């Protein structure tokens, strides 16, 4: 019986082999080029999933270039970085990514230079050239951009008897206190792992701090930053925020703001469709204002850019990638994306065309060129991960030691 | 018998044992070797080997300010979850061993937490504990225990103490079915005539339980205990889905911490893995000793 079993197994294997070989034999001599695209999902559910957006481009592209097939895979924002990094760690490189870009992949020689995979790199928004570059060469192609601003709930402001949006931290704390006293959440402070690095930086900027000094030295544990975290702790301790900000993610906080439960949040334009979907606030119920600082509002906000990047893998797909990148960055798709998610385009021509269509977003676009950006160092990937995991614990009696350990991570490098 | 035939027949057993040995070598031994080798390598966050690290990965691991707390928490996690599981399961097994109407349905129902994906169960509990509108908080609010939503009191998963306690509750909840079934099988294997003899001799209920049921239940108990210890020690989805080990690493155990280290520091994560492996080996050795002792008893 056993022998029979083994024979059967052997037979099965050879049958499978034959089948596989048969499949290869059946394929045309010039096999289709298959590109794998891994993109972050900007949607809030199946209806507005980025899968739909990219699949449309992939289908259009395939219709125009029948010999190239683009396989689209979208990944939840929370998992995007980890997913890409795991793929890289396992040497299962995607061909094209769209989402966060990290210069360490460029450092390791894994990426194509932009000039290799795009016909007209000068059409990429110049404000983000440095962020997408490593040692002078650009690897990341700005795909979608955004700038941050303070959103506030006018309904709750009126209920608490507040006339105008706060300009300084002290005003913010007073206003948040009044809103909290009415049984709502005064200020939403998402310091959970999802995007703690953004919320933190917006606060640090308010006190003249940041992750780095103007000349690019790490300064996470600077005295101003310690002072900033102390103020944030004071705000949390007073009960003016949601409880335990270190465990609350941005998505949940924005959702709660849209439901009318939070007085103020630092948000992005993507909040607009969330507010619309939730249906609790009308357009007259909320407003935006510059982000508060210690002594007055910020004159430059945080500009965030998500990039496309092309992995080299075995180097055989460069032409196909170039065709696809040129195709996907066309104005019509840039505008479609911006309209779908209320974000701003990443190309110059896309931005020009979009400003005409949607004047409401023009001020956000005007703020981009002078916006503060994340560090472009290769160690930023690790620093960011550590900030996401640890910064919540800096809200407490000893912010300095947490900032010290983040500074050590940045200086240790890899 | 000729020499060549003798040689052939001495290879025959290898033919039978070979596949199993090969499987163990590939699935068990090889990963262990790779793990230990990785722990001594300097690897970039993106998986490029940059040379030998000597003992540096272990050195960095010892210097992690959170490591002490994580180790202590892991021990508490395993002891409390396993002890609670075994105690509750002993009672449950006893209950399900009695005849009562609807016993069959009740026994099926017991399988549910086991059959459901642990990750799913954890997500359900995470939402049920939501500080704003989680069903558990709504209930506590309705009975007057909770004054205010979005408060520290309603944010069970926000502060490390209450978060860890709730995760233990979930861990016990998903561990009970297996332990109960293992013990129930053990109970059903005890011959009824021993109980009759005890009754004839005038032994009371507690004495019967202590001197007959418990000793005869021991093999089933030890197996259930060991499997539970290893399962609970390795438990990842509950902590990951409910708190991701946060805030900071204040609700991490060694298993989730290892995963988080992997994101940025692969070598150090492998060092943590080696430490974990050592801890599991200690448990296994204790088990082997316990079972060896039992054989001597008999």
Asked if residue A368 has pLDDT above 70, the reply is yes
pLDDT for the residue B44: 86
b/e sequence A34-44, b meaning 16+ C-beta within 10 Å? ebbbbbbbbbb
State how far residue B46 is from chain A, nearest Cα, in angstroms: 5
State how far residue B281 is from chain A, nearest Cα, in angstroms: 28
pLDDT for the residue A115: 94
> What structural domains and CATH numbers belong to chain B?
67-251 (1.10.3720.10)
Rounded to an integer, what distance in angstroms lies between the CA atom of residue A377 and that of residue A383? 10
pLDDT for the residue A199: 96
Rounded to an integer, what distance in angstroms lies between the CA atom of residue A218 and that of residue A303? 19
Closest CA to A137 of A119, A120, A112, A118: A112
First to last CA, chain A: 57
Closest CA to A371 of A163, A149, A207: A149
Rounded to an integer, what distance in angstroms lies between the CA atom of residue B89 and that of residue B214? 13
Asked if residue A293 has pLDDT above 90, the reply is yes
CB A231 within 8 A of CB A295: no
Supply angle C-alpha A349, A352, A357, rounded to 5: 125
Question: CA–CA distance from B247 to each of A389, B125, B159 (Å)?
Answer: 7, 18, 7
In sequence order, which residues have a C-beta less than 8 Å from that of residue A75 and are 6 or more positions away? A38, A39, A40, A41, A83, A84, A99
3-class DSSP state of A179: helix
The nearest alpha carbon in chain B to A378 belongs to: B45
The mean per-residue pLDDT over the stretch B186-194 comes to: 91
pLDDT for the residue B162: 95
Q: Are residues A88 and B47, on separate chains, in Cβ contact within 8 Å?
A: yes
Q: Which residue(s) pair with A97 in the sheet?
A: A38, A309
Please tell me what DSSP assigns to residue A212: B
pLDDT for the residue A27: 42
Asked if residue A212 has pLDDT above 90, the reply is yes
Q: Which of A26-40, A177-191, A302-316, B13-27 has the lowest mean pLDDT?
A: A26-40
ipTM of the complex: 0.80
pLDDT for the residue B294: 60
Q: What is the pLDDT of residues A45-91, one digit of tens each?
A: 888 899 999 999 999 999 999 999 999 999 988 889 889 988 998 89
CB B49 within 8 A of CB B41: yes
Supply angle C-alpha B238, B239, B244, rounded to 5: 130
Rounded to the nearest 10 degrees, the angle between the axes of helix B30-39 and helix B266-297 is 130
Q: Which of A16-20, A61-65, A162-166, B159-163 has the lowest mean pLDDT?
A: A16-20
Q: For residue B247, is the peptide bond before it cis, meaning its omega torsion is within 30 degrees of 0?
A: yes
Q: Are residues A193 and B155, on separate chains, in Cβ contact within 8 Å?
A: no
Q: Which residue(s) pair with A98 in the sheet?
A: A39, A308
Cβ neighbours around B153 below 10 Å, total:
17
Q: Across chain A, what does the average pLDDT equal?
A: 88
Closest CA to A85 of A94, A95, A73: A94
Asked if residue B2 has pLDDT above 60, the reply is no
First to last CA, chain B: 43
CB B266 within 8 A of CB B37: no
Closest CA to A110 of B47, B262, B42: B47
The mean per-residue pLDDT over the stretch B253-258 comes to: 94
Chain B residues inside the 8 Å CB shell of A104: 44-46
Which residues of chain B from 215 to 254 reach within 8 Å of chain A, CB to CB? Answer: 243-250
Q: What is the pLDDT of residues A180-193, one digit of tens each?
A: 999 999 999 999 98
pLDDT for the residue B3: 54
Asked if residue A22 has pLDDT above 60, the reply is no
The nearest alpha carbon in chain B to A87 belongs to: B46
Q: Tell me if chain A has a CB within 8 Å of the CB of B9.
A: no
Q: Are residues B158 and A414, on separate chains, in Cβ contact within 8 Å?
A: no
Q: Are residues B44 and A414, on separate chains, in Cβ contact within 8 Å?
A: yes
pLDDT for the residue B296: 56
CB A354 within 8 A of CB A366: no
The A-side interface with B (CB below 8 A) comprises 82, 85, 88-91, 104-105, 108, 110, 183, 185, 192-193, 239, 242-244, 246-248, 256, 261, 381-382, 385-386, 389-390, 392-393, 402, 405, 414
The nearest alpha carbon in chain A to B158 belongs to: A244
Closest CA to B158 of A207, A243, A117: A243
CB A142 within 8 A of CB A329: no
CB A190 within 8 A of CB A255: no
Chain B residues inside the 8 Å CB shell of A89: 46-47, 266
Which of A247, A381, A386 comes nearest B247 by C-beta? A247
pLDDT top residue among A16 and A389: A389
| Confidence at B117, pLDDT banded by 50, 70, 90 | very high
Chain A residues inside the 8 Å CB shell of B48: 108
pLDDT for the residue A8: 41
Which residues of chain B from 177 to 196 reach within 8 Å of chain A, CB to CB? Answer: none
b/e sequence A232-271, b meaning 16+ C-beta within 10 Å? bbebbeebbbbbbbbbbbbbbbbbbbbbbbbbbbbbbbbb
| Confidence at B151, pLDDT banded by 50, 70, 90 | confident
CB A273 within 8 A of CB A265: no
Which of B155, B264, B265 comes nearest A243 by C-beta? B155
Q: Where are the alpha helices (DSSP H) in B98-191?
A: 103-115, 118-128, 135-142, 160-188
The mean per-residue pLDDT over the stretch B168-181 comes to: 96
DSSP string, A268-324: -TTHHHHHHHH-SS-GGGEEEEPPPBSSS--SS-BEEEEEEEEB-TTS--HHHHHHH
Asked if residue A144 has pLDDT above 90, the reply is yes
In sequence order, which residues have a C-beta less than 8 Å from that of residue B51 and are 6 or more positions away? B41, B42
The mean per-residue pLDDT over the stretch A291-314 comes to: 91
pLDDT for the residue A376: 86
* Chain centroid to CA B190: 27
Asked if residue A151 has pLDDT above 50, the reply is yes
Question: Helices (H) and strands (E) in chain A — how many of each?
Answer: 17, 12
Rounded to an integer, what distance in angstroms lies between the CA atom of residue A402 and that of residue A394? 6
> What structural domains and CATH numbers belong to chain A?
33-146+304-367 (3.40.190.10), 149-301+379-412 (3.40.190.10)
Closest CA to A180 of A263, A89, A66: A263
Q: Are residues B45 and A381, on separate chains, in Cβ contact within 8 Å?
A: yes
Asked if residue A404 has pLDDT above 50, the reply is yes
In sequence order, which residues have a C-beta less than 8 Å from that of residue A121 and are 6 or more positions away? A114, A115, A138, A141
pLDDT for the residue A30: 52
Rounded to an integer, what distance in angstroms lies between the CA atom of residue A261 and that of residue A201? 24
3-state helix, strand, coil in chain A (%, to 5): 50, 20, 35
The mean per-residue pLDDT over the stretch A146-172 comes to: 94
Rounded to the nearest 10 degrees, the angle between the axes of helix B67-97 and helix B254-264 is 140
Which position has the token pair 């004495």? B207
Sign of CA dihedral A156, A157, A158, A159: positive
pLDDT for the residue A5: 40
The nearest alpha carbon in chain A to B63 belongs to: A405
Which of B131, B151, B264 comes nearest A382 by C-beta? B264
Q: Which of A5-19, A369-383, B14-28, B79-93 has the lowest mean pLDDT?
A: A5-19
pLDDT for the residue B293: 64
The nearest alpha carbon in chain B to A383 belongs to: B264
Q: Which residue(s) pair with A71 in the sheet?
A: A36
pLDDT for the residue A10: 42
Q: Are residues B47 and A91, on separate chains, in Cβ contact within 8 Å?
A: yes
């Amino acid at each position: 019986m056993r022998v029979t079993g083994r024979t059967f197994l052997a037979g099965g294997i050879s049958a499978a082999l034959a089948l596989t070989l048969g499949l290869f034999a059946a394929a045309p001599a010039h096999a289709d080029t298959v590109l794998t695209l891994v993109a972050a999902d900007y949607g809030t559910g199946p209806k507005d999933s980025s899968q739909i957006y990219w699949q449309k481009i992939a289908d259009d592209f395939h219709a125009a270039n029948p010999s190239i097939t683009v396989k689209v895979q979208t990944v939840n924002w929370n998992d995007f970085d980890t997913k890409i990094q795991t793929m890289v760690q396992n040497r299962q490189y995607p061909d094209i990514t769209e989402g966060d870009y990290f210069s360490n992949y460029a450092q390791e020689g894994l990426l194509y230079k932009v000039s290799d995979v795009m016909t007209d790199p000068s059409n990429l928004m110049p404000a983000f050239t440095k962020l997408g570059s490593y040692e002078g060469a650009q690897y990341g192609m700005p795909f979608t951009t955004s700038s941050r601003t303070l959103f506030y709930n006018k309904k709750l402001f009126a209920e608490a008897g507040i006339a105008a949006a706060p300009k300084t931290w002290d005003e913010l704390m007073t206003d948040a206190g009044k809103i909290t006293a009415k049984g709502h959440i005064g200020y939403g402070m998402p310091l959970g792992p999802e995007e703690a690095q953004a919320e933190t930086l917006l606060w640090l900027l308010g006190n003249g701090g940041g992750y780095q000094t103007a000349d690019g030295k790490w300064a996470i544990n600077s005295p101003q930053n310690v002072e900033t975290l102390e103020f944030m702790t004071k705000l949390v301790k007073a009960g003016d925020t949601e409880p335990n900000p270190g465990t609350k993610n941005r998505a949940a906080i924005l959702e709660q703001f849209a439901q009318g439960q939070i007085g103020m949040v630092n948000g992005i334009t993507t909040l607009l469709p969330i507010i619309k979907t939730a249906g609790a606030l009308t357009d007259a119920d909320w407003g935006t204002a510059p982000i508060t600082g210690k002594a007055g509002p910020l004159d430059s906000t945080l500009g965030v850019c998500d990039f496309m990047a092309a992995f080299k893998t075995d180097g055989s797909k460069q032409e196909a990638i170039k065709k696809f990148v040129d195709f996907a960055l066309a104005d019509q798709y840039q505008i479609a994306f911006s309209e779908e998610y209320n974000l701003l385009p990443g190309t110059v021509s896309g931005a020009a065309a979009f400003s005409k269509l949607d004047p409401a977003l023009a001020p956000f676009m005007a703020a981009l060129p002078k916006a503060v950006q994340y560090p472009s160092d290769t160690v930023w990937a690790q620093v960011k991960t550590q900030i996401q995991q640890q910064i919540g614990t800096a809200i407490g009696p000893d912010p300095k030691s947490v900032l010290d350990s983040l500074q050590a991570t940045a200086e240790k490098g890899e | 018998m000729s020499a060549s035939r003798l040689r052939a027949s001495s290879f025959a057993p290898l033919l039978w044992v070979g596949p199993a040995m090969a499987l163990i070598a590939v699935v068990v031994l090889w990963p262990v070797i790779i793990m230990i080798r990785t722990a001594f390598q300097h690897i970039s966050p993106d998986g490029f080997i940059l040379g030998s690290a000597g003992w540096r990965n272990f050195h960095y691991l010892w210097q992690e300010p959170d490591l002490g707390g994580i180790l202590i928490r892991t021990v508490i996690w395993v002891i409390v979850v396993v002890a609670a599981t075994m105690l509750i399961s002993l009672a449950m097994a006893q209950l399900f061993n009695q005849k009562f109407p609807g016993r069959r349905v009740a026994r099926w129902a017991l399988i549910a937490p086991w059959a459901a994906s642990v990750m799913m169960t954890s997500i359900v509990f995470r939402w049920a504990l939501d500080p704003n509108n989680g069903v558990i908080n709504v209930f506590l609010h309705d009975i007057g225990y909770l004054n205010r939503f979005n408060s520290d009191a309603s944010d069970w998963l926000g502060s490390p103490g209450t978060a860890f306690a709730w995760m233990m509750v979930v861990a016990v909840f998903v561990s009970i079915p297996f332990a109960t079934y293992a013990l129930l099988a053990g109970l059903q294997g005890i011959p009824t005539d021993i109980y009759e003899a005890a009754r004839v001799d005038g032994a009371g209920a507690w004495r019967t339980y202590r001197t007959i049921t418990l000793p005869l239940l021991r093999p089933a108990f030890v197996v259930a205990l060991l499997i539970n210890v290893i399962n609970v020690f390795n438990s990842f989805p509950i902590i990951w889905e409910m708190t991701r080990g946060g805030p900071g690493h204040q609700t991490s155990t060694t298993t989730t911490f290892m995963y988080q280290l992997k994101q940025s520091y692969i070598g150090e994560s492998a060092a943590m893995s080696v430490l974990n492996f050592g801890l599991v080996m200690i448990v296994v050795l204790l088990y082997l000793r316990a079972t060896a002792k039992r054989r001597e008893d008999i």
